[in-house]
Amino acid sequence: MEYMLMPLKRYAEFSGRSRRQEFWMFALLNLIVYCVLLGIMFAFGAGASMEDAASGNYAAMFGGFGLLLAVWALAVLIPSIAVSVRRLHDRDMSGWWYLGFIVASMIPIVGIIASIAYLVVMALPGTPGPNRFGPDPKGAADPEVFA
């Protein structure tokens, strides 16, 4: 649970490094929150009749839980970018690679390849020991890791 909430504690910290566990646990937290909110949102919107199905879904989307989903998405936007940049730093890559992945993912065929490449880079282990972005985050004995 500590690693799920760590990106929220380091809200807009783009310097330093983040472990794979921090990145993937935060992704899991977002997935759980989105699934719960979407489930609740469409459960309340599913009661609409067939003639009114479209307006029922819009009412669910822009009602209380839909707005809560939008608020959560906006609240975790900056921490998601920050943890991705720190994860790239752990791989000894510049944070500008994240922008490159985002731009490349908007190109129709290249986007699929860029998305897969992004997932692979996020799944690879970080460079052992210190690199140009800071000390190794796995070095639990080093007090400067989370300073």
Q: How many residues does the chain have?
A: 147
Residue 140 confidence (pLDDT) above 60: no
Structure tokens belonging to residue 114: 């860029």
Distance, CA of 1 to CA of 3 (rounded, Å) = 5
Q: What type of residue is 114?
A: A
Are 114 and 99 in contact by the 8 Å Cβ rule? The answer is no
Q: What is the pLDDT of residue 57?
A: 58
135, 138, 139, 140 alpha-carbon torsion, rounded to 10°: 130
pLDDT band at 42 (very low <50, low <70, confident <90, very high): confident
Structure tokens belonging to residue 96: 């500008």
Domain parsing of the chain, residue ranges: 14-123
Quote the mean pLDDT of the chain.
85
Q: Of 128 and 143, which is predicted with more confidence? A: 128
Residue-wise pLDDT for 76-94, tens only, equals 999 999 999 999 999 999 9
What's the first-to-final CA gap in the chain, in angstroms?
20
C-alpha dist (Å) from residue 59 to 2, 33, 64, 83? 36, 20, 9, 33
pTM of the model: 0.81
Residue-wise pLDDT for 89-114, tens only, equals 999 999 999 999 999 999 999 999 99
Distance, CA of 55 to CA of 140 (rounded, Å) = 53
Distance, CA of 48 to CA of 60 (rounded, Å) = 10
